[in-house]
């Protein structure tokens, strides 16, 4: 952040007065100080995000890959539960297997 950036935010946040020599002085109430702090924080956040955009995108891509892998594994587990049901087993057992499959899939919706 440059000195120009800081002065611009100071002007935006507070009252600016110019003395006889043309120097600016800034005065703030508590709202103005909070506004100035918020402007500086927002500018710094934006700088950090911009500086790290490629890394953030790479990490987000990995997160999406991991989420897809978890969903695929979850679906495979649910399918095993469904495939465990059989005509020769008791209906209670088949119902429990289907309930397990539904519960496994529901975990992905939280």
Q: Are residues 62 and 102 in the same domain?
A: yes
Provide the residue count of the chain. Answer: 110
Residue 1 CA: distances (Å) to CA of 39, 45, 67, 108:
12, 11, 37, 43
Q: Are residues 63 and 44 in the same domain?
A: no
pLDDT at 110: 64
Confidence of residue 16 (pLDDT cuts 50, 70, 90): confident
pLDDT for 48-107, tens place per residue?
A: 999 999 999 999 999 999 999 999 999 999 998 888 776 666 777 778 888 999 999 998
Which residues are paired to 15 by β-bridges? 27
Q: Are residues 88 and 63 in the same domain?
A: yes
Tell me what the mean pLDDT of segment 31-37 comes to: 90
pTM > 0.75: yes or no:
no
Q: Are residues 39 and 58 in the same domain?
A: no
Q: Are residues 64 and 104 in the same domain?
A: yes
How many distinct structural domains can be found in the chain? Answer: 2
Domain span at residue 23? Answer: 3-51
């Amino acid at each position: 952040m440059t000195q120009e950036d800081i002065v611009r935010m100071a002007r935006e946040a507070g009252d600016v007065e110019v003395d006889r020599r043309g120097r600016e002085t800034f005065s703030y109430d508590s709202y103005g100080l909070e506004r100035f702090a918020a402007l500086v924080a927002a500018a710094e956040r934006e700088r950090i995000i911009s500086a790290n955009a490629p890394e953030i995108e790479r990490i987000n891509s990995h997160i999406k890959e991991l989420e897809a892998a978890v969903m695929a594994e979850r679906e495979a587990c649910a399918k095993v539960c469904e495939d465990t049901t059989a005509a020769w087993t008791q209906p209670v057992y088949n119902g429990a297997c289907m309930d397990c499959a539904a519960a496994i899939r529901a975990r992905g919706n939280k």
